[in-house]
A = this chain, B = another copy of it.
Amino acid sequence: MIAQAVVTPIAFPDPPLLNSSGVHEPWALRTIVELRTGDGLVGLGETYGDDAHLALVRTAAAALEGLDPFDLNGLVRRVSEALGGVDAPDAHGLTGGSSPQKTLARVVSAFEVACLDLQGRATGRPLHAILGGKVRDAVPYSAYLFYKWGAHPGAEPDGWGEAIDPDGIVAQAKLMVSEYGFGSIKLKGGVFPPDEEIAAIRALREAFPGHPLRLDPNTAWTVDTSIKVAEETDGLLEYLEDPTPGNPGMGEVAARSPMPLATNMCVVSFADVPEAVALGSVGVILSDHHYWGGLRASQRLAGICETFGIGLSMHSNSHLGISLAAMTHLAAATPTLAYACDTHTPWQSGVDVIEPGVLRFTGGAVPVPDSPGLGVELDRDALARMHEDYLRCGIRKRDDTGYMKRFQPDYQRRLPRW
């Protein structure tokens, strides 16, 4: 039984990564959840760190004493009651309109992962076994390229250098692929006019002739622009991610695109699925246990995708090792997750809350841990340091647009922009 739920907000340095909403601030926020049982086990979870979400996570945590970590239905019921039907938008606005169901799913998730971690630890089984058994020994991830500045204004350059054109993107890709061995490459677009991003994709294809490529402008384009880009990148992309907002627009683009459209923006909850199926708007759903409601909910999504012939990949926001472990176990136990998953791991500046050594990349893939539960342990010194960084950093809500405006006062978030 859960005796105590501990919630710790932390921060870690984040490079100035550009996207269709602005630029990453110098600190990324996360919340670490620990569920401690009466017999001394600790289950771990990781979620968003913005203050509105943190407050809900704390409210939920206060309602979990006495919960059996096997009782995932009871977890949902308790969190639902604790939140009382609150409807809170996500801080960065990337998952569309809010609803009580989406809020609940986002808050439940970290606790659900921690409960599953406890199930594994209590039974001496790795999490992938709890989830149905691993079908692969290592989970392939994709290089996740960003246009970026060479440094946060006023700060020292980071090790990645500037990337604001095709040459910069190719250099970043070479560095990342040489260090991690990634066999697939995704470019976060929506930053420069589409022709410049198409040129970057062409440069990547030349530099990496055998790597599947993806482009994700985060709905920066109109339907017409999206169709034009899709036609011009015919044969270059394994999928095109969220070119334009909403299922109706995505459906129009999908009908005229030579490659599948992928999404982590127009299908972000179960309530979005029927419309997407009816319109044929997406060929690939990028699942993300952080907002779909956990690992069992992600398996439910996998079953829906398989049933309706929709491909399955995996989305990532800035994250640390607890989430990487959860993503890896889930992907390992999901036979139909055939695409390399997204990860922000290379961007976490070498900082983590978990003890080093368990998770590593080899040939672009993370070997699946076989020790009980998630297989990772909290580094309590690191957790304390990162909590201090959280207290000091002054950031309480992700605000890519506001941060961009500090340096480009006329900057506006406009989706679609082109």
- Interface residues of A, Cβ cutoff 8 Å to B: 68, 70-75, 77, 122-123, 125, 129-130, 132-135, 270-271, 273-274, 277-278, 296, 299-300, 303-304, 306-309, 333, 335
Contacts and interface: CB of A to CB of B under 8 A. Distances in A.
Given A122-B123, A123-B123, A277-B277, A71 B129 contact: yes
A75 B303 CA distance: 17
Given A123-B123, A133-B68, A73 B333 contact: yes
Contacts of A122: 123
A308 B274 CA distance: 6
Contacts of A277: 274, 277
Contact of A72 (B70, B133, B274): B133
12 contacts: A70-B125, A70-B130, A71-B133, A73-B133, A73-B135, A123-B123, A270-B307, A271-B307, A273-B307, A300-B303, A300-B307, A304-B304
Contact of A132 (B72, B270, B306): B72
Task: Summarize A's interface: helix, strand, loop or mixed.
Answer: helix
Contact of A133 (B74, B270, B306, B308): B74
A304 B277 CA distance: 12
Contacts of A270: 303, 306-307
A135 B299 CA distance: 20
B129 A296 contact: no
Contacts of A133: 68, 70-75
A191 to B, nearest CB: 34
A369 B51 CA distance: 43
A306 B303 CA distance: 13
Nearest to A135: B73
A300 B273 CA distance: 15
Given A71-B132, A73-B333, A273-B307, 15 more contacts: A68-B133, A70-B129, A70-B130, A71-B129, A71-B133, A73-B133, A73-B134, A73-B135, A75-B133, A122-B123, A123-B123, A132-B296, A271-B307, A274-B308, A277-B277
A300 B73 CA distance: 15
A274 B307 contact: yes
Contacts of A309: 274
Contacts of A130: 70
A218 B306 CA distance: 29
A304 B77 CA distance: 20
A71 B134 CA distance: 7
- A-B complex: 9 closest residue pairs judged by Cβ atoms: A71-B133, A300-B303, A73-B133, A70-B129, A72-B132, A270-B307, A123-B123, A74-B133, A73-B135
Contacts of A271: 307
B123 A68 contact: no
A68 B307 contact: no
Nearest to A277: B277
Contacts of A123: 122-123
A304 to B, nearest CB: 6
Nearest to A75: B133
A271 B125 CA distance: 33
A288 to B, nearest CB: 17
A74 to B, nearest CB: 5
A306 B296 CA distance: 14
Interface centre among A75, A134, A303 (most CB of B within 10 A): A303
A77 B122 CA distance: 27
A127 to B, nearest CB: 11
Nearest to A122: B123
Contacts of A303: 270, 300, 303-304
